[in-house]
Amino acid sequence: MNAPLAEALSALLLVAVLAFAVVRPSGLPEAVLAVPVAGLAIATGAISLDHARAEAERLGPVVGFLAAVLVLAHFCDVEGLFQACGAWMARWAAGRPVRLLTAVFALASAITAVLSLDATIVLLTPVVFATAARTGVRPKPHVYACTHLSNTASLLLPVSNLTNLLAFAASGLSFTRFAALMALPWLVAIGAEYVVFRRFFVHDLAAAAPVGADPGEAPGLPSFALVTVACTLAGFVVASAFGVQPAWVAAAGALVLAGRALVRGRATAPTVVRAAAPAFLAFVLALGIVVRAVVDNGLADVLGHVVPEGTGLPALLGIAALAAVLANLINNLPAVLVLLPLTAPAGPGAVLAVLLGVNIGPNLTYAGSLATLLWRRIVHQHEHGVDLREFTRLGLLAVPSSLGVAVVALWGSLQVL
pLDDT digit string, tens, across residues 206-256: 886 665 555 566 667 789 999 999 999 999 889 888 888 888 999 999 999
pLDDT at position 110: 94
pLDDT at position 70: 86
Between 214 and 94, name the one with better pLDDT.
94
pLDDT at position 106: 95
- Confidence tier at 181 by pLDDT (50, 70, 90): very high
pLDDT digit string, tens, across residues 303-359: 888 999 888 999 999 999 999 999 998 888 889 988 999 999 999 999 999 999 999
pLDDT at position 141: 94
pLDDT digit string, tens, across residues 28-75: 888 999 999 999 999 999 999 999 999 899 888 888 888 998 899 899
- Confidence tier at 115 by pLDDT (50, 70, 90): confident
pLDDT at position 153: 96
Using CA atoms, how far apart are residues 89 and 133, in angstroms rounded to an integer? 12
